[in-house]
Amino acid sequence: MEKNEIVAILAHEMGHWKKKHILKMTVTSLLQTGFMFALLSLFIDNKGLFVAFSMDHVSVYAGLVFFGFLYSPISTLLSILTNSFSRKYEYEADAYAVASTGLGEELIMGLKKLCRANMANLTPHPLQVFLNYSHPPVVERIRAIRALR
């Protein structure tokens, strides 16, 4: 990358710090982990759950398997929520980088080079983005950066 592209990318990362995205996502992750362990404690030795699966005795191993099955949809819903915040934060960090450096085109070029190096999908299906992406597609980010002018 060129020097100004690196500066723009670093300004984007500083935007995450300045906008407290790192702190917010860390707290979110801690809350999500605490919620997961609280649910696990309810499932790990729940006699009613073992009866529902026709098991004669309570087993920690079976409790873990049951929890894995039952937590999976909850995890999917939580990841959709946290990914939506993460995508929002990416736009905010891009805006911070452009406002603080004035290097919008350089940020765009840096993003393009990162996408090429990582072989990113430039036009993912919107449902795939909604369900799984923590970052907006680069085409949308470029559009948003250019709209800042």
Q: For 58, list phi and psi in degrees, rounded to 5.
A: -75, 130
Catalytic, out of 5, 90, 94, 106: 94
Structure tokens given for 117 = 């190096």
Catalytic, out of 5, 13, 45, 105: 13
Residue 56 annotated as catalytic: no
Q: Which helix (H) or strand (E) holds 43?
A: helix 21-43
Rounded Cα distance between 143 and 139, Å, is 6
Structure tokens given for 61 = 């191993």
* DSSP H helix total and E strand total for the chain: 7, 0
Residue 94 annotated as catalytic: yes
Structure tokens given for 38 = 């609280």
Rounded Cα distance between 81 and 67, Å, is 21
Active-site amino acid positions? 13, 94
